[in-house]
Amino acid sequence: MKKIFFLLVLLLNINFLFSQPANSSKSYFPPVGKWEKRLPERSGFDTTKLNEAIQFIISNESKGSRSMQVNQASTFGKEPFGEGIGPFADRGDPTGLIIHHGYIVATWGDPSKVEMTHSVTKSFLSTVIGLAYDKGLIKNVNDKVADYVSDIQQYDSVSSAPPKFISLFNTDHNKEISWQSMLQQNSDWEGTLWGKPDWADRPDKDTTQWLNRKRNKPGTVFEYNDVRVNALALATAYVWKKSLPSLLKEKIMDPIGASASWKWEGYKNSWVVINNAPVQSVSGGGHWGGGMFINAYDMARFGLLTLHKGNWNGKQLISEKWIAQSSAASTANPGYGYMNYFLNTDKKFYPAAPASAYMHVGNGTNIIYVDAEHDLVMVVRWIENNALKEMVAKVLSSLK
């Protein structure tokens, strides 16, 4: 009788487990060092269609060299002042993860491989700026950055010459730039940082405009520019009075259970003095090397954090207000919020996806797709950019 009773209880428990709806009201957050997997069909996917979508992703591998150093030299390296000054790392196979309701339902490639993620780095930068806003270190995003940042001493461990200082916001034009316009990449910041002039990043085809361009009023004209992003990173480190990677680790990456394998790099010449100590100012991407070196699992954890509006398993790591501001369309570019939130507001980029979906995007192409309506996060690495629209459509069509 005891054996029969035990079997009945066991059968009831199994029946209860598998009768639970795939979309449970309680979100799943993977603990440190673990991530539960679910069969795609249990999570509501048509397995055949999902496999076809993944094969489409793999077959549309980036045509660029797997050597990031060669890749940079053949693209951005052709620009004026285009030589690399930060570290690079060769990439591996096309890689990715699909996360539904917090659970892994599909993987391909090597999600544990640490690789450059290029401009997805910008989303980590805007996150540490959000932390400064939440803490009150930045009172209002419409404040002028010049009111927060003074001259910054360059670090020099060799020379005995008088110290040199960096002035980021001392021109008449730069004094009018707000945190928001820097975040939305419509500041038109002017200057040279780490040996890279602002005009030399994706320069105008008309060479006569390089040194004589029109200065646009901050907030009016969108221009994707990594020199300006790096200026924002340095300004943010000055406000925090500490290294941004250490801050990100403490406030975000450790609490979401990220591995210890990621690193955020700057350039060999991007060292400054903050609080009387040498600090490397990090870059916002891999344009000249550097940026975030990270695996796909850790990227997916970050995507889950933004999907849950800054909340991780009941703890608000960054304010919901900041995530809302980050994912709100800017006037100068309705398809862009705070860097690096690429929006789908008018469904122009991804017609099959909800208007509320967005992507964190980096060269390569590296993406974190975030779709709260479907409770879906995708990390896709090393895919041709022109395949993204169809990729999203194929994955969403595999959801029953």
Going across the sheet that includes 376-381, the strands are 103-108, 95-100, 376-381, 366-371, 358-362, 341-343
Name the residue type at position 4: I
Q: How far apart are CA 273 and CA 152, in angstroms?
A: 7
Cα-Cα-Cα-Cα torsion 321, 322, 327, 333, nearest 10 degrees, comes to 120
Name the residue type at position 283: S
Cα-Cα-Cα-Cα torsion 347, 351, 356, 361, nearest 10 degrees, comes to -90
Tens-digit pLDDT profile for residues 21-43: 333 447 899 999 999 999 999 99
Please, are residues 351 and 359 in contact by the beta-carbon 8 Å criterion? no
Prediction pTM value: 0.92
Cα→Cα distances 135→163, 174, 322, Å: 32, 25, 12
Q: How far apart are CA 222 and CA 75, in angstroms?
A: 22
Q: How far apart are CA 84 and CA 81, in angstroms?
A: 9
Tens-digit pLDDT profile for residues 171-206: 999 999 999 999 999 999 999 999 999 999 999 999
User: What are the mean pLDDT values of the chain's consecutive 10-residue runs (400 residues total)?
Assistant: 41 38 66 97 97 98 97 96 97 98 98 98 98 98 98 88 94 98 98 97 92 93 98 98 98 98 98 96 98 98 98 98 97 97 94 97 98 98 97 97
